[in-house]
Amino acid sequence: MANDTRICLNNEFFRLNFIKLRLRLTQRPAMKNLYTLNHAPINAHFSKNSSDFVVREVPLYEPSNEGEHCILLLQKKGIGTHEALRILSERTGAKMREFGYAGLKDKQGLTTQHVSMPAKFEPALGGFSHESLKILSVQRHKNKLKIGHLKGNDFFIRLKKVLPPDAVKLAAALDTLGREGFANYFGYQRFGKFGDNAAQGEEVLRGQRRLKNPKMRDFLISAYQSELFNRWLSKRVEISKFAAEFSLGEFAKIYGLSKEEAREIAAQPQFFKLLRGEILGHFPHGAFFSCDDLGAECERFARREITSAGLIVGRAKLRASGLGGRFEDEIFTPSREFEAQMNGSRRFAWSFMERVQHAYDAQNAHFSFSFYLPKGSYATVVLEEILHRDIFEGAATDED
């Protein structure tokens, strides 16, 4: 493939289109995420229903069995987290603000999650019954659940109308992602049915759009931050791909690197290349720090001890430097005029799946697979990477 690519580069038409592609990655307001795998789109039918999409929340800790709160283990079918809380509020008399939860879960599919409420409302749950909501267990706990108080989620997905050759491709893609990890993009859920949430968020920051609802304002600004993160991550995926597909000289020329910088990147054995000076984080949770000893950090990255941590632009203390900082600046510099209006942070750019399993039912043409993702990662992002196509054109959910 590298030889074919070099031949194409000699063609002026290809060069012009290549330049246009790179401009889109750094300047276009909205873009498609760049896939890491190289296969063609795979034909399969996916539907988010209670049989084919199952999510089970994995808690950060087990209830203590004592305290002033109750931890309810809920099973939901066809309703989102907020709708489930509304049902419980009407039944118990607890106010919506008195409930706590670790993360939002999809309306579609069958989902299991924990929520908390003051224990004084527990007696009102006696004999509770609802066609879309079950209470699987109730345990006492000292604290109210808060956003982020979870380890991650277990997922089960069933694809239908899968022919044998496509089943082989699906298995290979899953095995590769399970072994090497995946680009941890924000999912389509952030960007709205028409994909314009980020653009509206920028309008809010520029003072061109005024909203009375502070939660909507924060949500649109978050979509703007998320899109910038995705654009930066697409750039990093592009760098990782080109490091393997181009000669050292061509790779250095494309990105304006010295030969030593290009060699340092291309020599890394893993797909996703780390950059000197970028910000890394202890995986799956922990402190962030600068990548100074690149060789040592690549070894820890291979052991899944650390990973790359991309910028959520805003008020943030930790800045990338060196080569990592240069590539961050290409994406984030235009947005820095709004930093004072946004809370900045870091998000894992490259994440890892665990407990990956898959099976093919040739008789029914079903391909089923399951896996675990740490919090902050989207199963739909993994699925789109596997299938190489949009799975919910214009859809919107509240997946965590």
Is domain 32-55+153-181+353-392 given the CATH code 1.10.3470 in the classification? no
User: What is the pLDDT at residue 169?
Assistant: 97
Distance of CA 389 to the CA centre of its chain: 16
Indicate if 106 belongs to the active site.
Answer: yes
**What dotted CATH number matches 61-148?**
3.30.2350.20
User: What is the pLDDT at residue 394?
Assistant: 38
Q: What is the pLDDT of residues 165-220, one digit of tens each?
A: 999 999 999 999 999 999 999 987 788 777 889 999 999 999 999 988 998 999 99
**What dotted CATH number matches 186-351?**
3.30.2340.10
More confident site: 233 or 188: 233
What is the distance between the alpha carbons of residues 192 and 275, in angstroms, rounded to a whole number? 32
What is the distance between the alpha carbons of residues 348 and 89, in angstroms, rounded to a whole number? 35
What is the distance between the alpha carbons of residues 301 and 303, in angstroms, rounded to a whole number? 5
Could you check whether 32-55+153-181+353-392 and 186-351 share the same CATH topology?
A: no
Q: Where do runs of H (alpha helix) occur along the chain?
A: 2-9, 12-27, 81-92, 164-180, 197-205, 214-245, 248-255, 259-266, 294-302, 322-332, 379-387
Catalytic residue among 52, 106, 166, 400: 106
Q: What is the pLDDT of residues 331-362, one digit of tens each?
A: 999 999 999 999 999 999 999 999 999 999 99
Q: Where are the domains of the chain?
A: 32-55+153-181+353-392, 61-148, 186-351
